[in-house]
Amino acid sequence: CLRYAVLIGDALQQILASSIRPAPLLTATPVRTLVDEQACIKASFLPSNHPVTVCARMRSDEGDLWQSFAHYNTNSRGTFDLNSDLSVGGSYSGCEPMGLFWSMQPAPGERDGLRLRKKCVESPYTVHISLLEGHVSPNQEPVKELAAVTAERWYMAPGVKRQEIRQNGLVGTLFIPPGPGPFPAMLDMWGMGGGLPEYRSSLFASRGYASFCLAYVGHKDLPGPPNTINVRDSYFQAAFQFLQDHSHIAADKVGIVGLSYGCYLTFHTATLAGVKPACLIGINGPVGSSREILRVNSLLSLKHILCILQILMKPLVLMQLEEITCPLMYIVGEDDLSVLSIENADLIEETLRAAGKSHLFTRLSYPGAGHLIEPPYSPMSRATFIFFSCSVMTVWGGHPAPHAAAQEDAWKKMLEFMELNLRR
């Protein structure tokens, strides 16, 4: 009887404890952040040593569903914290405070070959983060949701001004930070995917740098067919001059940044007459012109196509790197399957050394990172479709965890490089 009384007492105690325990709570602090900032995600008021799943879901601007999930075990206090605790499975493993964001992938059933790119920087990504019972997949049915929170991820800080530029033949978008200025500035160019991606420029402006995102291929307001580059050197000279002449920009504090083919244009523009940038940043780009790749329709990676073109065509036209007179940062993803980034970095370094300009060169190299090194906590896409007159499946390379680490580190060092060369 005594033993039964003890058992009944324990059961009553557990019932009483569960009845007074607050409902499970999931928090994301701060709820509203820029996309290059960390959020602290925690859960509390759960049973001790209990399996749970955290799931993140959001819609892209095109309406596609992206998601990630991770398995955690609560501690003896019934809590867990993504800043200090380990994921034991799911979209990523280990201690990854921002893993829910950088590990996102299209949900099952979505279109193939997607790449997450913000189309409208004046609105946030709204991320629904939920806490689920047990170690489960978010696609299982039924799944018990214990708690949830919504986080906003912004590309524009309050007060940043966005202005579409369509003047003197230029096609682009200018972002100006809040305040009177004059501001240091960046001319921002993307790759052969074309169009006018604004999200890096809007983030630069959110960090105090005016930024002019320039279209040069694949935009309806540019001349000629959309799948070829139909602008000349004078176009890029005019874009740089536009920044120098702007009343809110410091004329002697203008840099240039480019990814992929935009990297080639970054270095080439720096050698043009009348263009004197304060610094250059190139990300996984060639140092020779290869516009013919714009018309390739192949499942091969662009890296392999480039090798074939180098064999079958006349040699690529190499720019005069030795003419560069400002600090230059070149960022390498060592698993880049689109461009010969390691070899290009070697060539830049050798050329500047021969010209007595080694002191101008900074090289960042990241094992496991692919071609598309973007702002931090952006999901990695190893292969995506790009569209010209036809669709092309392009292999970018990269592995999620090291690629995410590269994006975080490279962004920090890019901003430090800009601070050193554009503000002092």
**Catalytic residue chosen out of the listed positions 36, 85, 335, 336:** 336
Asked if 249 and 243 touch (Cβ cutoff 8 Å), the reply is yes
**Catalytic residue chosen out of the listed positions 60, 87, 211, 260:** 260
**Catalytic residue chosen out of the listed positions 371, 378, 381, 403:** 371
Q: How far is CA 353 from the centre of its chain?
A: 31
**Is position 371 annotated as part of the catalytic site?**
yes
User: Active-site residue numbers?
Assistant: 260, 336, 371
